[in-house]
Structure 1
Amino acid sequence: MTIQFSGNAAPFIATSRDILVAQGIKLTIGSDFEEYKALVADERPMQKLGAPFDPDLHNLNKSNAFWLIGRNEEGELIHTQAARRIRLGGRPLSSYLLRQFRAFPPPLRGVDLARSRFRATPGTHRIAGTVAYHGEFWVAPERGKYRGVGLAPVLGRTGMLEMMQRWDPDWIYGFILNVVAFKGFGARIGYLHLEPSALKWVVDGRDAPIDTFLAYNSREDLEYLLDIPLQEAA
C-alpha cells in the first residue's frame, strides 16, 4: 500500500524547513550506525547509545534503519533520533515483545534485565504487519533555546515522515519513560496513542522500578498527523 495524504507532504516539508532555518538548525540523515555510535559517544555523553541501535548488537543498514541528527549554526549536536524496521514474523507485537522486550532497555546503567518485565497493552495485540521502532529522541537541554520553543513537533513528524517514505509501515511504536510521558512529550512529538505500564525496568540502586509507556501510531494516524498544518502543532 502506498501512503496517501488528503493533500500531500509538500506543505509539511516546506513549513518544517522554514522553522528549522529560522532556528539555525540543519538536519542530516544517515544509515551508518558505526558513525552514529561514535558521534553519540563523542557529542552526547549524557545519554548513552540505546541498545536497539547498537551496531554491535544488530545488523543495521540503509534498508532497515536510519538515524537523524540536528546541528546548530556552530555545528554543535542539538538533536538525535533513529528508527528501524522490526520483523514480527507474522505475530502481533505482544507476542514479539514477550520474548524480545529486553532488547529495548532504557539508556541507563544498571538495568536488571532478569527482574524487569513486559505487560501486553491493548495496542500491542493490534500492532502487526510492517512495523517500525522509533527511539533515540533527544534534544539539547538548553531550555528556551531548543526545548520549549515548538521544535519537538517539527522534529518528531520529520522522523515519522522519513519512516513512511522509506517503509510505509502499518504501525510505528516507541517507549517513553513515565517521568517524560507525564510532561506531554509523546503528544508533542506526534504520538496519538499512549498506553501505560508496558515495560517496567528494575535498575540497580533504585528503590522502585522505572515504568514506561508504549507510544504508537497506525498508518492512518500518521496520514492524519502529517496532514495537520504544522503551524497548529508547533
Structure 2
Amino acid sequence: MSFQSLNAGTQFVATSRDILHQNHITVTIGSDFLKYRALLKRERPQQVLGAPFDPDVHDLNEKNAFWLVARDADGMMMHTQASRLINLGEQSLSGYMLKRFRDFPPAIPDLDLKRSRYRASPGANRIKGNVVYHGEVWMGDTGPYRGTGLSTVLARYGIHEAMCRWDPDTIFGFMARTVAFKGFAERMGYMHNEPGALRWYREGSDRPLEGFLSYLTNEDTRYLLEMPIVDVVDVPEPQKKAA
C-alpha cells in the first residue's frame, strides 16, 4: 500500500508549497545524477557530490534515487538533498553498514578509511526491509532566508517525496556530532538520533569526526507529515522579491 493511497501528508504538501511560493523559492526534483553532478560543479563548488550518489559508482535512476534542488528568488541554488533506496531484505542496517560504511563517507578530503570505523547502534540492529538513505543536505548562505524555518520545510519536502515514491520501512542518514548538537536533526524532522555510530579520521590527524545515525520509521514519518506544518516549524514571513 503506497503512501499516496492513504492520502497522508496532503495538508503538509499544500502548506509547504504555499510557503515556498510566497518566498519565491522554486524546487526541482530529478533522477539524472550526471546532470545533478554538473549542477553542483557549477553552483556548489565548495562541496563536491557525495560518494553515495556518485553515478560512476552506483546505478542511480528514477526507480531508486532522486535529487532535489531549491533556488531563491534570484535563481541561485540555496538548498540540496538526495535520497537513494536500499533493499536490505532481512539483513539489518547494522550488518549492512559494518561491511559498507566506507561507501557513505562525509564530503571532506583526506579521509583515512583504514582508521575510520562504524559502531552498530541499537536502532540499526532493528532496521530492516526497504530503507532510504537521505543525504546531500546542504543549505547555502541564504541571506534573508537564514533562520526563517525554510530549511525545515525543504527537508520535510524531500522526506515526503521519498515516502510517495517508495513508502519505505525506514529513512536514515548520518549527521556530524557538531551539527546534531545544534538541533539540526530535530529541525529536519528526525525522531531518532543515536550517537557514536561513525568515527572518521583524516590523514595525519588523531581527532575523529563523530557521526550520529538519524532515522525515521515509516510510522514516525506518517505522524510527522500528517501534522500541520505550523505545529513543527515557525512559518517564515514571505520574502519580497527583488525589483
2:112 alignment counterpart: 112
User: Separation in 1 of the partners of 2:87 and 2:6?
Assistant: 29
Query: What aligned pairs does 1:171-190 form with structure 2 within 5 A after superposition?
Result: 171-190=170-189
The count of aligned residue pairs is: 233
**Contact persistence 1:5–1:223 (CA under 8 A):** no
Which aligned segments of 4 or more residues in structure 1 are displaced greater than 4 angstroms?
4-7
Distance 2:146 2:107 in 1: 20
What's the CA shift string for 1:110-161, capped at 9, x where partnerless? Answer: 111111000000010111011110000011123x523311112211111111
The answer as to whether partners of 2:4 and 2:164 remain within 8 angstroms in 1 is no
Q: Over aligned residues, Cα RMSD in angstroms?
A: 1.5
Secondary structure of residue in 1 paired with 2:100: helix
Structure 1 stretches of 5 or more lacking a match? none
Q: How far apart, in 1, do the equivalents of 2:204 and 2:44 lie?
A: 24
Please tell me whether residue 22 in structure 1 is matched to residue 22 in structure 2. Answer: yes
Q: Give the alignment's TM-score, normalised by structure 2.
A: 0.92
Cα pair 2:93 2:124 within 8 Å, conserved: yes
What does residue range 85-164 of structure 1 map to in structure 2 within 5 Å? 85-142=85-142, 145-164=144-163
Residue aligning to 1:32: 32
Q: Residues 5 and 188 (structure 1 numbering): CA distance in 2 closer, same or farther, change over 3 Å?
A: farther
Q: CA deviation at 1:7?
A: 6.9
How far apart, CA to CA, are the structure 1 residues paired with 2:228 and 2:181?
25
CA–CA separation in structure 2 for the residues paired with 1:5 and 1:206: 51
- Which runs of no fewer than 5 residues in structure 2 stay unpaired? 234-243
Letter in structure 2 aligned against 1:195:
E
Distance 1:192 1:170 in 2: 14
- Is contact 1:140-1:147 (8 Å) kept? no
3-state SS in 2 of match to 1:166: helix
1:84 corresponds to which residue? Answer: 84
Distance (Å, rounded) in 1 between the aligned partners of 2:71 and 2:112: 34
Distance 1:204 1:5 in 2: 49
**Pairing 1:202-213 to 2, within 5 Å after superposition:** 202-213=201-212
Conserved 8 A contact 2:34-2:55:
yes
TM-score by length of 1: 0.95
Contact residue 202 and residue 210 of structure 1 kept, 8 A = yes
Q: Percent identity?
A: 53
**Amino acid of the residue matched to residue 198 of structure 1?**
A
Whether contact under 8 Å (2:130, 2:170) holds in the other structure is: yes
Task: Give the residue type in structure 1 aligned to 2:107.
Answer: P
TM superposition shift of 1:22: 1.8
Distance in 2, Cα, partners of 1:89 & 1:8: 25
Structure 2 matches for 1:183-202, cutoff 5 A?
Answer: 183-202=182-201
